[in-house]
Structure 1
């Protein structure tokens, strides 16, 4: 096929011109425009590229293989010459390769292994809208390389549904758009019957579409399991014997339907002449290359085809002849699963952008039809969420540690909490040191290209058969459960795998699942250059001993009083099912848990040998003298404690409390009991309130936060020194507490506190009266209060103010007997409008006290008039 026959062809000259003058480009082109294959080919002879390579990033293995094969065919070559590809466990490149199609993990390894990217002139990110974590990381690393080492490196982002304006602004890059070529697609919603399973709805829709519309069918399903179910249903509908089943069902050839009928009551049947010309084919990322190639090529004999695909067919691959799309509206996307500690594939509703892209597949060659299997009233999210916002980030944290910087430019920054949790996991695995720097072990783990937990397990032993067993475990942990019956024993899964290798499949096991695990384990042995075969049998603790290296935080010891509960190394507790196969095991390691409010529920685990633990995890066993606060006795207790991480193994009294350890224990007691357990005086409480008020009224002073929350968070800083040498809470007296609180504020600043928030104020009577500094329920300053007898303010025209004149006092005006008469923050208004009424009421009650007609000019006093006056 000539490059000029692709819709992208008129834009290729603009793409070349843009990249000749600017190192970055955002390219929007609809499905079928040809961007994936034609853009790299068009750049091969660019002057700025010279003899360097172009790396084309494809998020999916099917698309990577397909793109490489198609480009090689356009050049009249085999894959591996000018155009090659590299994906996990597969490499088709040579010294001649100048366009290298890679999946996302491969690109990250290329960048980490050679940050200069010698010999590479351009990186093209295809289908960037999918926003996989590896793709986001690859872009962030490439931008860092371009900014600091390779200004000549070209970076191109391509997709049909990306937010081009946002990305162009983020990259400071030109933005080009291709019109594409498509035909109208009629979209309708195919209703499900009451309580109908998805596979039965799909079968009815397939039969209806075959009988109603011309052309091939493309059916989008979330995963291999659903594809297999639909295949079986279509096969069961075939009345003619001798039908050959597809490899997806475990047999050698694709289904050739002899009769597919009965979609709806009024649906016409497929004409008899077509009964033997319908071929049903699966398409997903686990298929062998030759089967994928077969699906992506038009049928040589012109027969109609029904392609059952995962979302690998949503973009980057072209299926010739498709006129009808049937969309289940579902996809499997990675989500962080706290039960397992991994990101697992979860079936979720697709975005509206994906739904539109899928429907567009029906309009490539002529007018098409799209059936959606969800209610028309259901609303989809506009775009899919980036993986970086919803998956576990230990692997990303390890990549950043190797790169040596976490200050990278991400389109969406990784959540700080998830990143911190990922670093904590890496430290437990020995991949990072206490300062967060990469260790030699961490570098070896990264080179395996899998989750750090599994990498740690795969590197745990140098003994060949143990390595082979670890490969089995990696395959088991990554895969779906092959057993149909519930059991929490990981050993039963491995025993089913061992039986499968000997030609026996347990009745409660899934054959295809075990076959996939066996293949994955072989690939791991090949990656690790392990020539040993896994053992035919192994004790259960042999699995647990290896698994402990992947989940050191989930090693658990049986509770001494409750045999169904276990204390974990991370400090949490777990409980067993009532019928647990692991009941009675003293030690175990959990690979999968269901986290609940109190105890986690164990879903899958293996026993672990405590003798092995003491050898392999010797540094985690520690004995220490601890001093702790006993809330019941309200006293410190000194104990000698043996631990395995967060698991307490043994405790005995250590006798007299060690003063060197007591201060921290007292701090813990305050944290537990609250600040109210300390010897507060009213003066000290008011001093803290004065500081808090001035923080709001005069922020330029830079006073520290003395709120309860802040003080509790910094106990070690301000209070711990005051507990030095003390072994009781009540040994701290009020003056020592005051000194501890004020220790962080220098003498000059304390003087300014007294200046701007004084404890007392001089009133016209010549006396000093106290100012109260209240705080509201949220710890914010309320109006400062001056309670004073009315007669003491005669001659004062305006309300006194503090905080450099910024804050008026709230006057509580008292009667001669000390009872409240009026509350006001405006003394001038009180004298002018309210005093006369107060005088009229109070003069008869307090005749020996002055009530002048002119309070403005009267003499202030705190005394009654002399007798007889």
Structure 2
């Protein structure tokens, strides 16, 4: 024990907001004991009053070895570890996560118990944005005595080169004490992967076209129909990791590279039954256009603009005579057409094909027929044969 007298003296000093030269509470205590400061009498009276309140304690000590322990017991979240030393001072990381600087003799100490820390305007000489105003040296044993409730020991994981790498980390609050590579247990690996996904989101996955397409289609159904179609937004998928990604979490935890996961099969676990039998009717992957081509439908991103439409990008000539704009999700959502030139460049964007043929098409024809003379640009698009070929090839 540090003894009731020392505890009373330290509390009187800190509670009285007395100045500590070079932030060193132990030095301030020596000066007060020797009566060399104007505040010595007030401090001594406060200490005597506090000692009477505490009462006698075994092993009473008057030395200064326990100053840091008293402060650490009062402010365990302010226990600080030196992380950088410079010619002008040192930077410490507090258990609370704050970084703060100190100059003078205390900069030589590895562990500090901080009584007062304050924000600084600009950066301190020690390179941090906060200043330690008063503190005392702390031994590692004293730190463990005061902060046992802040100690954690757990396996952490991160994705390095597309694989999970695990480390066992021991911390005092935000202060990392040790970190060693380990082979995580199955449960530790799963928990670690979940933490990484919740921290970094789903961007660590490389979504192949099939998985990305299925996710977009499901997002459209969720947007238009609601339950029971699943929420496949980033937030929704992270919330239901154990439902749709359970076996893949195990695979990742055991070292499988992230780019080898079958995310399409994983997403299919979210399909609601029996409603899922209508998936391809409600949100087909492709749309057959009048030329006979089956063109891929690009659905909006799951976390994108909620008013976005599914898009079909197709050559204008493949849609001649098409009057009624197709609608998806039981007629709720009209397809937005990007009508392309023979070179694949956009000529028009419309969700009303009939109006396009009757109006803007004439201007498009006037501008394009000279640029692409080998392709059909009929005056009457209603009577023309839809084709993806040139005029000569179509004639053959």
Compute the TM-score of the two structures, normalised by the length of structure 1: 0.38
Give the one of 778, 782, 790 matched to 2:316: 790
TM-fit CA distance, 1:590: 0.7
Q: How many angstroms apart in 2 are the aligned matches of 1:828 and 1:640?
A: 65
1:776–1:782: 8 Å Cα contact kept in structure 2?
no
Residue 466 of structure 1: aligned partner:
3
Residue 491 of structure 1: aligned partner:
26
> Mind listing any 5+ residue stretches in structure 2 that lack a counterpart?
none
Change (3 A) 1:762 1:589: same
Change (3 A) 1:489 1:777: same
Residue 14 of structure 2: aligned partner:
477
TM-fit CA distance, 1:826: 2.1
Deviations 1:529-555 (A, max 9, x none): x44499997333312212222211222
Residue 336 of structure 2: aligned partner:
810
2:116–2:132: 8 Å Cα contact kept in structure 1?
yes
1:788–1:814: 8 Å Cα contact kept in structure 2?
yes
SS at match of 2:70: helix
Residue 62 of structure 2: aligned partner:
538
Residue 853 of structure 1: aligned partner:
380
Deviations 1:165-195 (A, max 9, x none): xxxxxxxxxxxxxxxxxxxxxxxxxxxxxxx
Find the structure with the greater CA-based Rg.
1
TM-fit CA distance, 1:772: 1.1
Residue 678 of structure 1: aligned partner:
205
Change (3 A) 1:860 1:619: same
Alignment of 1:391-790 (within 5 A): 466-467=3-4, 469-481=6-18, 483=19, 486-499=21-34, 504=35, 506-507=36-37, 509-510=38-39, 515=42, 517=43, 521=47, 524=50, 528=53, 530-532=54-56, 538-559=62-83, 564-577=90-103, 579=104, 581-595=105-119, 598=128, 600-615=130-145, 617-618=147-148, 626=155, 628-629=157-158, 631=160, 636-637=164-165, 639=167, 641-652=169-180, 654=182, 656=183, 658-666=185-193, 675-699=202-226, 703-707=230-234, 719=245, 721-726=247-252, 727-728=254-255, 730=257, 732-735=259-262, 737-748=263-274, 750=276, 754-775=280-301, 780-790=306-316
2:317–2:387: 8 Å Cα contact kept in structure 1?
yes
Change (3 A) 1:619 1:480: closer
2:167–2:180: 8 Å Cα contact kept in structure 1?
yes
TM-fit CA distance, 1:510: 3.4
Deviations 1:584-631 (A, max 9, x none): 33332111112468464321112233334445655655666x454374
1:693–1:780: 8 Å Cα contact kept in structure 2?
no
Q: How many angstroms apart in 1 are the aligned matches of 2:98 and 2:243?
A: 29
Change (3 A) 1:520 1:778: farther
1:660–1:725: 8 Å Cα contact kept in structure 2?
no
Change (3 A) 1:860 1:547: same
Residue 360 of structure 2: aligned partner:
834
2:229–2:271: 8 Å Cα contact kept in structure 1?
no
Q: How many angstroms apart in 2 are the aligned matches of 1:812 and 1:784?
A: 11
TM-fit CA distance, 1:565: 3.5
TM-fit CA distance, 1:493: 4.0
1:498–1:536: 8 Å Cα contact kept in structure 2?
no
TM-fit CA distance, 1:742: 4.5
Q: How many angstroms apart in 2 are the aligned matches of 1:590 and 1:714?
A: 42
TM-fit CA distance, 1:712: 6.2
> Mind listing any 5+ residue stretches in structure 1 that lack a counterpart?
1-460
1:498–1:537: 8 Å Cα contact kept in structure 2?
no
Change (3 A) 1:792 1:603: same
Compute the TM-score of the two structures, normalised by the length of structure 2: 0.74
* Aligned positions, number: 385
Change (3 A) 1:560 1:553: same
Q: How many angstroms apart in 1 are the aligned matches of 2:79 and 2:185?
A: 32
Residue 103 of structure 1: aligned partner:
none
Deviations 1:176-235 (A, max 9, x none): xxxxxxxxxxxxxxxxxxxxxxxxxxxxxxxxxxxxxxxxxxxxxxxxxxxxxxxxxxxx
Q: How many angstroms apart in 1 are the aligned matches of 2:368 and 2:132?
A: 77
Q: How many angstroms apart in 2 are the aligned matches of 1:802 and 1:702?
A: 16
Residue 227 of structure 1: aligned partner:
none
RMSD: 4.4
Q: How many angstroms apart in 2 are the aligned matches of 1:745 and 1:534?
A: 69
SS at match of 1:549: helix
Q: How many angstroms apart in 2 are the aligned matches of 1:836 and 1:557?
A: 76
Change (3 A) 1:837 1:776: farther
SS at match of 2:92: strand
Q: How many angstroms apart in 2 are the aligned matches of 1:819 and 1:618?
A: 67
Deviations 1:377-430 (A, max 9, x none): xxxxxxxxxxxxxxxxxxxxxxxxxxxxxxxxxxxxxxxxxxxxxxxxxxxxxx
Deviations 1:500-549 (A, max 9, x none): xxxx3x24x336xx52x5555566556x5x44499997333312212222
Q: How many angstroms apart in 2 are the aligned matches of 1:531 and 1:841?
A: 99
2:233–2:302: 8 Å Cα contact kept in structure 1?
no
1:627–1:658: 8 Å Cα contact kept in structure 2?
no
